[in-house]
Structure formats: C-alpha cells, structure tokens
Structure 1
Amino acid sequence: MELNSVKETDVLIVGAGPTGLALAVDLARRGVGALVVEKADGLFPGSRGKGLQPRTMEVFDDLGVVGPVLAAGGRAPLGLIWKDGERLDEHDMFDRAEPTDAEPYGEPWLLPQWRTQEILLARLRQLGGDVAFGQEVTAIAQDVDGVTAWQRSGTAVRARYAVAADGGRSTVRTALGIDMDGESIDPSPILVADVRIPDLDRDNWHMFGGDGGYTAICPLPGTEDFQLVAQFVTGTPDISAESVRALVAERTHLTADQVTEVRWASDFRPRVALAERFRDGRIFLAGDAAHIHSPAGGQGLNTSVQDAYNLGWKLGQVLREGAPPALLDTYEEERRPIAADMLGLSSRIHRGEAKRGSTTRQLGLGYRGGPLATGSAGALTAGDRAPDGLLADGSRLFDVFRGPHFTLLAVGTDAELPPLPGPVHIHRTEPYEVYGKGLFLVRPDGYVGWAGEDAAGLGDYLANVTRW
C-alpha cells in the first residue's frame, strides 16, 4: 500500500464515541499520547444512549466533566401511559434513590448521547488532545513492538497499543478475527428518532400501546427535542422524515404536522453479543466493539465508558509509570465478567423479567476476587467501589481521589506507613462507618485495590501496579 505519511503515537483509539472519547480524556490527563481517529466527518448526531447511570456520573466527576453534564442534562420524568388520547396513569421509570454522602449521584441522569460526546470532546481539547475526523481504518497489524493501522486516506499510524472503540460492527475486531457470541432477543425491529413536537408537554415520558408495538416519546433535557422509540411487531421501520411523522400520527393523539422537525433517525434489531476475548496482543476491544446490549435498562453506554476508565489507568501505569506490562492482562479479566453480567441484566429488563432497580445504577459493581483485589479491612473488601464522603474541612473523598494517582486512605488509624512511590497520595481521616477502620489503597478508577489493618503486603501489591 502506498502511504502518504506515517504518524506515531503511544495509543491509537479507533472511534470517537463515548468510549473512545472517555479513554482519550483519561490518557491525556496522564500525559499519554493518544490519537483518536473517526471515520465519520463529525460526532454521532443522535440521542441514542441518553441515560447516564450514577456510577458513570462518578467517572465523569473524576474526568472533570460532571459539571457540564449536570448543567446540560436532567432527571428522568415520570412515565405517562396514554390510551385513545386520554391520560391513564403516571408511573416512575426507575427505582429512585436520594443522594447520600457515600453515593452523591442517586439516580440516572438524562443527556442525549450527542451532547455527552460534545462535552467529552471539549474536555479532550482542553487537555490538548483532539479527534481526527474522516479517517477510516481499513487494516491493522501488530508485531512485538507495536501496532500499525492503515487508513483509507493513505496514512498509516504506528502506536505502542491500539484500542478498538469503533462500535458493534467494529472493523478492528473483524480484522482480528475475534468472534461475537450473541443472539437476537426480540424479532421486532425498533425505530429511534430525535424529533421536535412543540405541542407535547415535556413533563412526562409519554407511552403509547397498540397492536403494532409500543411507542415512547421522551423529552431530552437541555434541548427542544424528544427521543421517539417505536417497536414494529409487523413490518419494517422507514426512517424517512415523512414516515416518522406518519408513524407518530398513527400511534398517538398527535398529528403529523405537530412533528415540526425530524432531526435524526435510525433503526435496529435488539440483540446481545459478547466478544470471545477483549484483547489480542497489543490491541484491546472496548465498548460496543466488545459487547452489544439491548437498550433496555440503559447499560450499554455506561458499561462502555467504564471499560475505558478501567483500561485508561492501566495503560497510563505501563506507559508512564513503569508498571509491568502484565498489568494490562487484568483489563479483560476484570471487564469481561462485568460486561457479561450487564448483558444478562439488560436482556432480562427487555423481556420484562427484571426492573430498572438498584443494580442498573452500577454502584454495586466491583472486582472482588479479581486479579487486583487483595485483602479487607473495616467494612470493605478489596474490589469494592470506594465510597465518597464529606470531610471535616468541607471537601469530599472524591476530591481526594480525583486525578490519575492512587490514594492510600488511612481511616481511623495511626498505622505506620512505609515510603511510597510518587503516584500514591496519602490521606488520613477520622473513622467513617462506610469504610470502618483500616488502610485502603484506592485505585485511580475509584475501586479499593488493597486493604488491611496495617501496611503488611502493601509494597508487594504496589509492585504489580506501579514502578517500585
């Protein structure tokens, strides 16, 4: 292949969706060079993944974007069931939870996917990074020293590692020959569109039944738009603007003319699939390239962002802090079981076998028993999410954790500590019931990696995750 040029970078990220952008932000704040390439000419224009779960909000807090996310989004409204033009019943779409000191984000936050991506891109640019749009990867290969990706433009990229964040039809995954084990969970195709309906109130998530399949119209906070989702028990969706307007008129009390604009539309068949592996040598799969979810329960985008969050600190430790390359093996070991569990949950919600309850908030997910979980102390076991908390000076534990470092949290103990490497910050605090008493090494992604009543064994643990 004739090449116009060869670019070099530490990490090549293929795809500028939420996964790729979140990973790029995390790497940028670690000083890791990353090149994000996206075959489209701009960011994804639709609202598709509109629900941000509390755990993802915590990730965004750490990445420095939760302020814009809160400002641009809003709470999910109550669901409203309609029949024959009459309002029948309101109901809550989620089991809501009030924020607490330990869990500051209590419920899902609605934000159109395109807005989430805009916010992440703005943060990436603030950190000195960017996205190369209109750059399609057509082939990829690797050797013992790195990865080479060829682009349709005639440009090649040489990187030490590469991450496929290029969606469910991942070109990179296909090139690697990694199979996806999955199934269709519903034979009925679904249409999703962003529409403007000025005459429809924005106080409810509007639900309509019918023989043709369910229809839902949800207001999108921070915009004038609604997200329209329509199931097709018979027939196939037509995503033209004229047909979307006709569909609304057929299934609701609204007229076609009341849909003043169709801003984006797409269709899909609900399916679930899991890649047989998340790593091939120096190339990693993340997000939809690794796992495909039903939209029910709002797990897909959230699980994907958390893939990026798990992988980002590990790449940073290996590339900038001298950690053993074997640390990267733990990405698949930790994330593939989580993805499998979330696929099962979203499938059960889609089939009506489970509710959108506490599990969908993803605050209870963790890595107990995993390759980077050692010990226990007080109320926590290594692998647990590290809770937030209000400190005596008015700051929060999340303020202490925020950044690319590890935090050794000494709670209610004067235990002697050995000298620690620079990437480990030490913070002592009073007893706190959600932790109990003890020493807790909090990983850069907010999970307890090591815990103990004294520092015995801490050095051995740190040798596996940083230069020691």
Structure 2
Amino acid sequence: MEPDRPVGSSEVLIVGAGPVGVALGCDLLQRGVRVRLVDSAAAPAPAPRSRAVLVWPRTLELLRGIGVAERLAATGHRLTGIGYRSEGRLLGRAAVDRIADTPYPFAATLPQYETERLLLERLAELGGTVERGVVLEDLRQDARGVTARLRHPDGNEEQAHARWLVGADGAHSSVRKKLGIGFDGDTVDVTFGIADAPIDGPAARDTLHYCYTADGALGVVPLPDGLFRVAISIPHRDPAEPPPAGVFAEALRRRAPGLGELGEPRWTGSFRVRCRIADRFRDGHCFLAGDAAHIISPAGGQGMNYGLQDAFNLGWKLAGVLRGTLDAAVLDSYHRERHAAVARVAAVTAAQTRWGMIAGGPRRVLRDTLVRGAALGGLLRRRIAPMMAQTDVSYAADGLRRARPGHPRPGDRLPVFAPAAPEAPEALGAPEALGGPAAPATSAAPADPALDRDGFTVLVRRPSGPSGPAGADDRGSAAVAAALAGRPAVVRTVDDTASATLLRAFGPRPVLVALRPDGHVQYVAPATRSGLADLVRHLDGLAPRTRTAPEPAAARG
C-alpha cells in the first residue's frame, strides 16, 4: 500500500449516497456549506430493483426547498387516497387529496432509483459530487471535529477531517457501529415479497390498496408506466433467491379478490424486516440519519420519507452553526425531535403490520369493525390521511396531541413553504405529468408568505382593523423588522388576504410566529411590545454564546 493520501478537509462529511445522504448534501450545498459525500458502493443501485416507491406530501414540501419536488412529482404517478380492504370488501378510504394545507395533496410513486437520479442531478447542479467505492475504515473525534480514515478503490487510504460527520450509510451503518451506538428494536420480524408487474383488472390507479385476509396481508401500489408494486407477507427465505412470479399471482387472487390478474413481473425480490431505532442519533460531532438511525416496518411506505425528514431537520441546523448564526447547542435538538417522531411512526407501522397478520376470528372482526367505523366517522380522513401523508408531524413537547386551530405551538408544522423552483411545471396537476385526473385547487394563495431558506421567517399576523401596539399595519411589521435587525430572520406579514388554511392555523388574534427553515414553529409571542421583546430574546438565545447580540429595538424604546 502506498503512503496515505494528503489530509482532506470539509465542513461536513456525509457517509452514504442514498436518497437521504444526497438530499442532505443538496440542502447543505445550497446553504453554502462545503460538503464531501462518499459511498462504499461503486455505483447507484441498478434498475429495476427498488424497495422504496412512495413519496408523501410532507416530504414533497421539504424537497421543494432544494428544487426537486416538482421534478419528482412530474416523473412519478399520483395517488390520492389509501383504501383498506378485508376479504375483498372495501372497509374505508383515507383521502389524501382532501388534505387542504399542502401544495401537494397526493403521494408520488416512483422507483427509488428514479428518486436517487433526480436528487443526484440536483446535487450536480449545485456543484456536488459523490466519491464512489470509498469505504470508511475508522473515525475518531476531538474538539475540532472528526477525522475519518477512508479507503479508496485503489487501496490507498486518506485521513479526512471534517467539522461534522453524518452517517447515512444504511441499515448496516459503519458509522453507527464504529460509534458503538446501540440499535435495538421492536419484536416485529416479518419477510415481505415484492414484485413490480402490470395488473389486468379494475384495480384503481389513484389508490394505495391495503388488503387483509386470513391468508395474510397484501399491498398494491400503482406505479408509473402502468405497473403496480405488489407486496406480500411470506415465510422467511433467502433474499438471494427471488420468489417466483406465481407466488404473487396466487396472492393477488386470494388476498385481493376483485382487483384483477397479475401480469408478468419486471422483477421480484424479498427482504426481512426487523424494526430498529438507534439509541441516539448524535454522538459528539457525528450524526445518524435514515436507515442508519432507524428501520421501520414498510407498512405505509414511511421509511425513506422519514429518513429524508432527518436530512431536512439537520441541514439548516448544521449550516447555521457553521455560519456562526446558531450556537452548537441547537444540534442537541436533532436527536430529541427526530427520535420522538420516528418512535411514533414506528409504533404505528408496526401495529399496522400486526393488523395485516391477523388470520381470523374475533380479532379480525374487531379490526374490520374499527376500520369501518373510522371511515364512517371521518377519522380516516381527519387523522389517518394526515398521519400517512406526514403533514401531522410535530416536534411540540406534547406533539401526540393535535394542536388547536388558531393556536400554533413551538414544534408544529405550519402551511408555509419555500418558493417553488423557477423551472417547476405550471400544470402540476396535469394528467400527463402525474398519471391521473387534474389535481384539486391547493390551499396556497398569492398573498401567502414564502418560507426563508436560510434563516427564521417571522410572521406578523395582521388582522384587518386595529390590533395592538406591535403592529396591525405596515408600520407594525417595520417595527418588528427593525427590532430583528442584524439577526438571521426575515419578517413577513400574514393579513386577511392569506389562504383560508393559513388563517385557520393562525386564528384572528395578532401574533408573532418565528418559523424555522424547515417550516416548523420556533417561537410564538403575542403581537405586543413585550411579546416582541420576548421573541428577540429567544432568537438571541439561539446565537453563538461568544457573539454579542444586538440590543432589541423594543428594549431601546
């Protein structure tokens, strides 16, 4: 072996170039961070094999911030609802297209290799590259950051230094193992067979179908090009041996009667699911994201989406710390927020997996009765659809309890989004682009404020008529802007011309809401002089401890 290569340096080293690692790389590059992205694989996963196929509305909202959402939506196929069936009978449907507070009232389906292709295209546009065939051999941390020993395809090794390291290197993460982080999990242990094939029959192409029978569970996901993803629970088997096509054809006939007959699959495969969550998502200067941090049941297609949410939760925090606008203590919130969110969805998807394994008897009757009752009572539309769409994700301290309309809490998601990419197709809902009927009108209004990508967006709720000392008019917004001068924040007004969904989220009272770059609430204060002073003090508390914050204008009188 030749001597070590020269020491390389970057601000963030990302190990793993799947969707999560590449999305994080795009987010950081767009914020001006020096990023290095390495992957042990010599090339991306080849077509047609693909495990993840669903991208839910909340993920599209976040991908919009890096200019990928519209490309992905135009490439994929649109699903507008989730149907629950038992022994061939439809129990109920959760309507994703009835979710009013998102510009993406649908799930986009496409193979994971297509998602990766679009993300890699965007990475290249931002000046990023992936170093392939580079293996993490070891890492060590000190007060300055992380030094990683990397082995290149030619066998030479390099000592690479970075301020921060992110392990997005999958379920068998080298980063997690080298940090000694535990990876415990749920008792769910099930093997799924998957096939992509056409279906000759009446299976609706706008619906994700969950089918429960005494023989086991089955999921049917419409894909582009007239294909369907068929996923079934099967006995444990060697994943190197693809299940025969007949297994899926028979399962479709027995577990989803009435949906149609399976055609010749493009490919088949199987994988065994053992749900796991890392003990901690941060260790000093190192972080875990995606499958390196958590593996959840594939029921509901949530896994890749939650990994991408990891990336967008972490990206703005790392960039703020590196740019000197945020104190490093803000990074402690990454584990707290994402671990809680993942634990919640892991419990839900594990329960859904167990529900699909109920063979019969009183438990089956109870399950079917509960689903049917939830459909008749509107619970599928009000709770299950937002949960599957991930628009109900909250980092609030009591995030399991839904926020009251008009009373946003720190950690809640608000329907305020980054501007769409300039090259976004105008007819986002066109049948040609999305494989279905035209989309309904979305919740956005021209007067809705846009989310700032780089700092906090402070929204001043300004109802018509007199409101309060902090500002019911443009002078009030100007006063807020003056008070926040020199801080990483922009001020925008929410008046009565905003969309109904945004007004419902705020309520009629004058209020100041600071939004994070990922669209979650950072702080809420009344629109008064004292409320503004509290907001300024809160934002100053997030600044690096060594920096002298400007004096709040409200305090100067």
SS for the counterpart of 1:350 is helix
Q: Could you report, residue by residue, the CA deviation over 1:70-109 in whole angstroms, capped at 9, with x for unpaired residues?
A: 10122337769799xxxx5556664434242x33333433
Alignment equivalent of 1:457, drawn from 534, 538, 541? 534
Q: Which of the residues 409, 416, 423 maps onto 2:459?
A: 409
Higher helix proportion: 2
Conserved 8 A contact 1:198-1:260: no
Cα separation, 1, equivalents of 2:294 and 2:239: 27
Task: Determine if contact 2:325/2:488 at 8 Å carries over to the other structure.
Answer: no
Counterpart residue number, 1:229: 231
Q: Pick closer, same or farther for the CA change 1:267–1:231 going to 2, 3 Å.
A: same
1:208 and 1:251 in contact (8 A); partners too: no
1:136 aligns with 2:135: yes
Match of 1:108 in 2: 107
Separation (CA, whole Å) in 1 of partners of 2:95 and 2:89: 17
Seen in structure 2, the aligned counterparts of structure 1 residues 108 and 330 have a Cα distance that, compared at 3 Å, is: same
Provide structure 2 residue ranges, at least 5 long, that are not aligned to the other structure. 254-259, 356-366, 372-379, 399-403, 418-441, 463-470, 497-502, 550-557
Are residues 1:433 and 2:504 paired?
A: yes
Deviation at 1:275, TM superposition (A): 1.0
Go from structure 1 to structure 2 and tell me whether the alpha carbon gap of 1:240 and 1:463 turns closer, same or farther (over 3 Å shift).
same
Given that residues 218 and 231 in structure 2 are in contact (C-alpha distance below 8 angstroms), is that contact kept between their aligned partners in structure 1?
yes
Match of 2:446 in 1: 394
The unaligned stretches of length 5 or more in structure 1 are 371-375
Match of 1:361 among 389, 398, 405: 389
Q: Per-residue deviation at 1:308?
A: 0.9
Task: Give the structure-2-normalised TM-score.
Answer: 0.72
Counterpart position of 2:257: none
Cα shift readout 1:122-151 (whole Å, capped 9, x = no counterpart): 112111112112222122211111112222
The answer for the alignment partner of 1:297 in structure 2 is 300
* The structure with more radius of gyration: 2
Contact 1:287-1:303 within 8 A present in 2 as well = yes
Letter matched to residue 442 of structure 1: L
Which segment drifts farther, 207-216 or 15-24?
207-216
Equivalent residue, structure 2, for 1:373 = none
Contact 2:452 / 2:490 at 8 angstroms: preserved in 1?
Answer: no
SS of match in other structure, 2:74? helix
Q: Conserved in 2, the CA contact under 8 Å of 1:17 and 1:166?
A: yes
What's the offset of the Cα at 1:392? 11
Which 10-residue stretch deviates more, 455-464 or 352-361?
352-361
Change (3 A) 1:116 1:323: same
Contact 2:99 2:386 in 1 (8 A): no
The CA distance in 2 between the partners of 1:260 and 1:447, in whole Å, is 42
Q: Which segment drifts farther, 210-219 or 163-172?
A: 210-219
Structure 1 residue 192 and structure 2 residue 199: aligned?
no
Normalised by the size of structure 1, how large is the TM-score? 0.85
SS in 1 for 2:114: helix
Q: Secondary structure of 2:270's partner?
A: strand
1:166-185 matches, within 5 Å, as 166-185=169-188
Distance 1:248 1:151 in 2: 43
Contact 1:98–1:107, Cα closer than 8 Å, also in 2 = no
- 2:20–2:308 contact (8 Å) kept in structure 1: yes
AA at the equivalent of 1:403: R
Residue 50 of structure 2 is aligned to residue 47 of structure 1: yes
The answer to whether the 8 Å contact 2:39/2:131 transfers is yes
Q: Tell me, yes or no, if the aligned pair for 1:104 and 1:388 is still in contact at 8 Å.
A: no
Q: Which SS does the other structure have where 2:412 is aligned?
A: coil
Give the Cα–Cα distance (whole angstroms) in 1 for the partners of residues 192 and 444 of structure 2: 51
Decide which of 306, 331, 336 is 1:328's aligned counterpart: 331
Which residue number corresponds to residue 423 of structure 1? 488
Q: Does the 8 A contact of 2:273 with 2:297 survive in 1?
A: yes
Partner of 1:98: 98
Shift, 1:381, TM fit: 2.0
Q: Give the whole-Å Cα distance in 2 for the aligned partners of 1:182 and 1:425.
A: 42
Superposed displacement of residue 210, structure 1: 7.6
Contact 2:141–2:147 (CA under 8 A) maintained in structure 1: yes
User: In the alignment, which residue of structure 1 is the partner of 2:23?
Assistant: 22
CA distance in 1, matches of 2:202, 2:105: 25
What SS does structure 2 have at the residue aligned with 1:189? Answer: strand
- Superposed CA deviations along residues 367-419 of structure 1, whole A, max 9, x for unmatched, are 2239xxxxx9953222221223999982533xx10422211111114343214
Q: CA RMSD in A?
A: 3.2
